[in-house]
């Protein structure tokens, strides 16, 4: 019943027009910025409690990421919300055709647990900026962060416009019974399908941010040691629980030994010879730990680094596995843990073939090569949501870059201007002249016109010629 009343209140607020003024939206964005900065130590503590994420990672990948995104919106929102002048054909230029961005109404954001601040608040920034009211439902698997958001929302944001609702599957199902202007879901494919079905019942537009198996391809033209350093970091960050993390490293056989050697060197440098929980983090819960442990137990590959798993602390040591066959368990699923299989490719074309087989429709693709033509050729050849050359997860760092998947890794995008596009309805508007001279040009459409002469006029004056080749 509480959800019903919240939905009714927020829908009423939207209908009142309260959230539409741009100045009001900016005020709410500033309040959200203060929510983050004023409580950054509390968020660090909560996120560590939920997922064991080290303080530096929380600061950079959570609080700083969200705060800087808000600043980026405040700097650009006026331009992003301007009416777009449409380039049209000469007969319609004096109709003043424009596209106006209108808020969609009440928007629902269903967050996830692995980045409990970033992947809940980044889309919510766009909800506010586009002039909507919004409900945020954080993941129940990050309860400390969710509780903190519920506490802070009414202290900083307008409670008649924005609410944070906690609860598990029942809460989500209760929310999804309602009609929304838009729904954004971040999570796994199975639940994503359920959310999509629920949205279809109300013909609700939806954005799905799902997982995927991402490949890191290392060419023989790469800076091999730097590639190893960056791939190891990306795989171990947040205990491997990042949807954009590499799921497999595919390495040109000419530099394979050098790459593996560099992994060993940087492993020693990163972890002083032995990785511990405070520097890596832990798996979020027992069910997720058991799933990753099962994948690890099923692999037929060779463990060359790491390999320690502790079910009590849910700690998994960053682990590198070689000699992996294509049918290995680690290549059949998104690992979502700090375990990286490394396989050989005969050449760059073979690497593409392997990536296409192992990581179809990846959320992210990473190509390491000093030959940018080669790198871009690989990126263009493989289906992926986004890509980074000579780094992992680099494409999600710049504030202006759309964040989204492709195919089974999701569809739709947000961040920066893409958030405005996602959470706004693009309304086509024309202003048709009323002067007599213009009305004379429209005489053809009225039923009293001479049909034969009208057809001749249309063919002579209204058919556009093909442009020159």
The residues annotated as belonging to the active site are 209, 243
Helices 348-358, 372-381: axis angle to 10 degrees equals: 30
Q: Which helix (H) or strand (E) holds 389?
A: strand 384-389
Cα separation, 150 vs 447, whole angstroms: 62
Answer for the pair 242, 114: CB distance below 8 angstroms, yes or no: yes
Coil, helix or strand at residue 303: strand
CA distances from 48 to 176, 187, 267, 393, 436 (A): 30, 20, 23, 21, 71
Q: Which residue has the tokens 């760059």?
A: 348
Answer for the pair 46, 148: CB distance below 8 angstroms, yes or no: yes
Cα separation, 405 vs 415, whole angstroms: 13
Cα separation, 11 vs 123, whole angstroms: 19
Answer for the pair 222, 230: CB distance below 8 angstroms, yes or no: no
Cα separation, 312 vs 454, whole angstroms: 83
Cα separation, 395 vs 8, whole angstroms: 39
Coil, helix or strand at residue 20: coil
- The DSSP bridge pattern shows strands 384-389 and 362-368 to be parallel
Phi, psi (deg, nearest 5) at residue 371: -95, 100
Phi, psi (deg, nearest 5) at residue 174: -65, -40
């Amino acid at each position: 019943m509480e959800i019903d009343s919240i939905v009714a209140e927020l829908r009423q607020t939207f209908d009142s027009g309260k959230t539409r003024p741009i100045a009001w939206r900016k005020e709410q964005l500033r309040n959200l910025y203060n929510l983050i900065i004023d409580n950054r130590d509390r968020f660090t503590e909560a996120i560590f409690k939920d997922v064991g994420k080290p303080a530096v990672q929380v600061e950079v990948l959570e609080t700083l990421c969200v705060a800087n995104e808000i600043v980026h919106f405040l700097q650009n929102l006026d331009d992003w919300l301007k009416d777009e002048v449409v380039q049209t054909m000469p007969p319609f230029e004096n109709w003043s055709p424009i596209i106006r961005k209108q808020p969609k109404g009440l928007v629902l954001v269903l967050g996830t647990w692995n980045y409990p601040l970033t992947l809940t608040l980044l889309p919510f920034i766009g909800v506010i900026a586009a002039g909507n009211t919004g409900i945020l439902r954080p993941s129940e698997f990050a309860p400390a962060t969710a509780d903190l958001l519920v506490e802070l929302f009414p202290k900083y944001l307008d409670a008649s416009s924005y609410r944070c609702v906690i609860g598990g599957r029942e809460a989500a199902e209760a929310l999804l019974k309602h009609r929304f202007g838009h729904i954004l879901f971040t999570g796994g494919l199975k639940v994503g399908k359920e959310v999509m079905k629920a949205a279809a019942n109300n013909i609700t537009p939806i954005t799905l941010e799902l997982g995927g198996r991402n490949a890191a391809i290392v060419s023989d033209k790469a800076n091999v040691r730097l590639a190893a350093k960056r791939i190891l970091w990306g795989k171990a960050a947040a205990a491997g629980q990042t949807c954009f993390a590499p799921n497999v490293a595919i390495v040109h056989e000419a530099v394979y030994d050098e790459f593996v050697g560099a992994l060993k060197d940087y492993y020693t440098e990163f972890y002083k010879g032995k990785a511990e929980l405070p520097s890596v983090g832990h798996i979020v819960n027992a069910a997720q730990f058991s799933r990753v442990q099962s994948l690890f137990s099923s692999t037929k590959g060779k463990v060359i680094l790491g390999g320690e798993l502790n079910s009590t602390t849910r700690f998994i040591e960053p682990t590198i596995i070689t000699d992996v066959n294509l049918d290995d368990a680690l290549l059949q699923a998104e690992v979502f843990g700090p375990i990286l299989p490394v396989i050989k490719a005969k050449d760059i074309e073979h690497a593409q073939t392997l990536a296409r087989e192992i990581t179809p429709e990846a959320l992210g693709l990473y190509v390491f090569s000093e030959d940018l033509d080669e790198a871009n050729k690989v990126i263009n050849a493989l289906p992926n949501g986004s890509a980074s050359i000579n780094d992992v997860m680099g494409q999600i760092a710049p504030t202006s870059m759309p964040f989204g998947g492709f195919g089974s890794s999701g569809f739709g995008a947000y961040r920066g201007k893409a958030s405005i596009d996602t959470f706004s309805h693009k309304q086509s508007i024309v202003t048709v002249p009323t002067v007599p001279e213009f009305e004379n040009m429209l005489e053809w459409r009225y039923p009293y016109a001479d049909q034969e002469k009208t057809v001749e006029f249309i063919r002579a004056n209204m058919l556009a010629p093909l442009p020159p080749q």
